[in-house]
Amino acid sequence: MVSNVLTALVVGVGLGVFLQKGRFCFVHAFRDFFAFKDSRVTKAVLVATTLTMVFWSIAYALGYYQGFWTPDWGLTGLLGGFVFGVGMTYAGGCASGTLYRAGQGYLHFWLTLAFMGVGYAVFTVLFPTLESAYFEPLTFGTGVTLFEVSPVPAPLLALGVAGLVLLAYATIVGRSAAGGAGGTDDAAAVRADGGTPTSRGLGASAPAVGLRQFVAGTREYFRGFAEIDDWKAASKRPWDPRTAALGITALAVLWFTQVSIVGVTGPEARWTGYLLQQVGVDAGSYEYWGSILFQGKGVGLTVDMVMIAAVILGAFLAAFWSGDFSIRVPKRRRVPNAVVGGFMMGAGSRLAPGCNIGNIYSGLAELSVHSFIATAGIIAGVYAMTHWIYRDVGCAI
Amino acid sequence: MTGPSLDDFVEMPDEVDDETAEQLADQATETQDMTGEVCPYPQVEAKKAIQTLDSGELLVQETDHVPSTENVPRAVGDDADARVWRSGSGLYRIFLRKR
């Protein structure tokens, strides 16, 4: 137990540091990709998720793991994910982003956290009704991860998926490199004239071109470390999102072998029950807190609650060190974003269930069927909300 | 922008020192107070303002939101040249000169 608390502190503080220094934000990853095709953070999310999948599959195959998180799958993931995606885009931060920005001094995101708590509490009160009216009719199958059901050993499966992701990525990069500035037009022209030798040649070479760029870029990234002469100054500057992705992956592997997959809103919902218990509410008597979140073990502190609290601490330390910490008071017109967005994130993460970390990061990395659906729901929510917020200036996608 | 490529992973706007930041602030055609705002509102407001400026004119955003120092310049893209000033205490200025 003591070692688990220590692990929770190390993982939480570490995650806080890497999230803050890498500005690792899932809203940014999708919103800015839709709005103006900025794919920098999108790629960092892809790197982190894919690497984590490979390492987790190895840990699973070797037996060094504490269990998967595989909720039953169905339309709940799509609907709850959509509500969560709209909420996080409106609030301006995902579940993990809200945590590290709270540590950075944003009162906006403390307010978001508070209203996520309201979302968890309202959900808990309504849970008995929701169970029969929402979860039962919309759930189609038992939760499962492909690691457990695949006839192929998990590491091979993970490497196969990682290979496909890399190939798809290389093809996109290669196509745009081959097409130059007018890449999309060229690609459309190629599609239009179908099977001419030139177009087939381009199609075949695109992944190779992309792979070469990928290798060159990766090499350049690691060479960049050798060029750092003043490590103290470098540590204060913002870090490459890929550094954050690598750090997060390492911590997620440690967490997976010692405790569980990485989640944020589950522990937060437990925090809500725990804090209400402290002010006299009998949280354990509510079915959702008592028998589901705390699994009948009584309302108390769990290691994952310690871990996510440590994320706030880690983000504070990183921001303070970088000169990025300050108490930031939100503009009055942004208060509805924190209040409504936070509530939608809290409620949406319970309806799905799972947030961006549970589903997009951990869920995809453990190849959970539920999380594929929930990820689609979250991304659809971000897409819809981004188009609404950008309605005056237009989106690229 | 030519679509996704690895070099745009680490592209950052140039940073300016305190003195340059003061000089630039005096030249501003339009100044937006974006403190207390979070993404993506600074991006949206920057895009709106840049559309109304003439070539060579300068837009300044004052912000306390770290990610904005990167994604506001990227949001306006080729429409403006961007530079950023960091105070070292959580306040930033983004200078966008319309091309």
- Closest-CA distance, A345 to chain B, in angstroms, reads 16
Report CB contact under 8 Å: B4, A106: no
- The per-residue pLDDT for B11 is 65
Task: At A319, list the tokens.
Answer: 């921001």
Distance CA A333, CA B63 (A): 15
Report CB contact under 8 Å: A27, B71: no
Report CB contact under 8 Å: B40, A390: yes
Distance CA A330, CA A316 (A): 18
Strongest mean pLDDT among A150-154, A195-199, B88-92: A150-154
For A382, what's the count of Cα atoms within 13 Å in the CB-facing half-sphere? 25
**A355 to each of A21, A78, A105, B7, B14, how far by Cα in Å?**
21, 12, 22, 30, 35
Report CB contact under 8 Å: B5, A38: no
Distance CA A112, CA A153 (A): 42
- Residue A32 pLDDT more than 70? yes
Which residue type, as a one-letter code, is found at position A276?
Answer: L
- The per-residue pLDDT for A179 is 62
Of B10, B75, B90, the CB nearest to A323: B90
The answer to whether the CB of A65 falls within 8 A of the CB of A256 is yes
Nearest CA in chain A to B5: A173
Of A180, A241, A331, the CB nearest to B2: A180
Mean pLDDT, range A133-157, rounded to an integer: 95
Q: How confident is the model at residue A194 (pLDDT cuts 50, 70, 90)?
A: very low
With a cut of 50, which residues of chain B have pLDDT below it?
Answer: 1-9
Report CB contact under 8 Å: A39, B47: no
- Residue A206 pLDDT more than 90? no
Q: How confident is the model at residue A259 (pLDDT cuts 50, 70, 90)?
A: very high
Mutation for testing the B interface, residue in A32, A46, A386 having most B CBs under 10 Å:
A32
pTM of the full predicted structure? 0.90
Distance CA B71, CA A260 (A): 34
Nearest CA in chain A to B33: A331
User: Considering chain A, what is the average pLDDT of its residues?
Assistant: 91
**A121 to each of A114, A275, A348, how far by Cα in Å?**
11, 11, 12
| A280 DSSP assignment | T
Report CB contact under 8 Å: A386, B40: yes
- Residue A189 pLDDT more than 80? no
Task: At A47, list the tokens.
Answer: 């790197």
ipTM: 0.85
B89 at interface of A, judged by CB pairs closer than 8 A: yes
- Closest-CA distance, A292 to chain B, in angstroms, reads 35
- The per-residue pLDDT for B1 is 30
List pLDDT tens digits, range A38-55.
888 899 999 999 999 999
Decide which of A233 and A203 is more confident.
A233
CB < 8 Å to A103, chain B: none
Distance CA A379, CA A84 (A): 9
Query: Can you give the length of chain B in residues?
Result: 99
CB < 8 Å to A220, chain B: 6
- The per-residue pLDDT for A1 is 65
What would you report as the CA-atom Rg of chain A, rounded to the nearest whole angstrom? 22
List pLDDT tens digits, range A265-297.
999 999 999 999 999 999 999 999 999 999 999
Identify the weakest region by mean pLDDT among A107-111, A194-198, A223-227, B71-75: A194-198
List pLDDT tens digits, range A210-231.
999 899 989 998 998 988 889 9
Q: Among residues A57, A48, A55, which one has the least CA distance to residue A25?
A: A48
The answer to whether the CB of B39 falls within 8 A of the CB of A247 is no
Residue bearing tokens 């994604």: B71
Task: At A366, list the tokens.
Answer: 């453990």
- Closest-CA distance, B1 to chain A, in angstroms, reads 7
Identify the weakest region by mean pLDDT among A107-111, A190-194, A321-325, A347-351: A190-194
Report CB contact under 8 Å: A323, B89: yes
Q: Which helix (H) or strand (E) holds A309?
A: helix A303-322
Residue B14's beta-bridge partner residues?
B83
Distance CA A219, CA A184 (A): 28
- The per-residue pLDDT for A193 is 43
CB < 8 Å to B7, chain A: 217
- The per-residue pLDDT for A364 is 96
- The single residue of B39, B44, B66, B91 carrying the catalytic annotation is B39
| A334 DSSP assignment | G
Is residue B39 annotated as part of the catalytic site, yes or no? yes
Q: How confident is the model at residue A204 (pLDDT cuts 50, 70, 90)?
A: low
Report CB contact under 8 Å: A38, B7: no
- Closest-CA distance, B36 to chain A, in angstroms, reads 4
List pLDDT tens digits, range A18-29.
999 998 999 999
The full 3-state SS of chain B, as one line of letters, equals CCCCCHHHHCCCCEECCHHHHHHHHHHCCEEEECCCCCCCHHHHHHHHHHHHCCCCCEEEEEECCCCHHHHHHHHHHHHEEEEEEECCCCCEEEEEEEC
List pLDDT tens digits, range B43-64.
999 999 999 999 999 999 999 9
- The per-residue pLDDT for A205 is 81
Say which residues have a Cβ less than 8 Å from residue A310's Cβ, sequence separation at least 6: A8, A9, A11, A12, A13, A15, A16
- Residue A186 pLDDT more than 80? no
